[in-house]
Amino acid sequence: QKEVEQNSGPLSVPEGAIASLNCTYSDRGSQSFFWYRQYSGKSPELIMFIYSNGDKEDGRFTAQLNKASQYVSLLIRDSQPSDSATYLCAVVMDSNYQLIWGAGTKLIIKP
């Protein structure tokens, strides 16, 4: 069974702090890892992808991948109230390149 696990939250973080979102996956051979953000009532939008072990930074966002431990995380620095959303982790686990989705973590940034 191919699975992607996320803590559903809500995760509450004060404005200006670092928000840390975690995701674990079941298939050691997984290839590609994505973080999507979904505001309430809207469609998911891609914010980061990572393919190699280590860190990848894009503005206030940093994705971290550890294939040996089978987890991927997303750090949001200097959190803003506009970052309040559900963050979805998605992983490609097979040769069809189909995404397997986590259930999402609801993030709340408190002013």
Bridge partner residues of 96 (DSSP): none
Binding to another protein in span 46-65, by CB under 8 A: 46, 49, 51
| 23 near another protein, judged by CB under 8 A | no
108 touching another protein, by CB under 8 A: no
Which of 34, 74, 83, 85 is in the footprint of another protein by CB under 8 A?
34
CA pair distance 74, 63, nearest whole angstrom: 5
Stretch that binds another protein, among 15-23, 55-63, 67-75, 96-104 (CB under 8 A): 96-104
CA distance 111 to 101: 30
DSSP 2: -
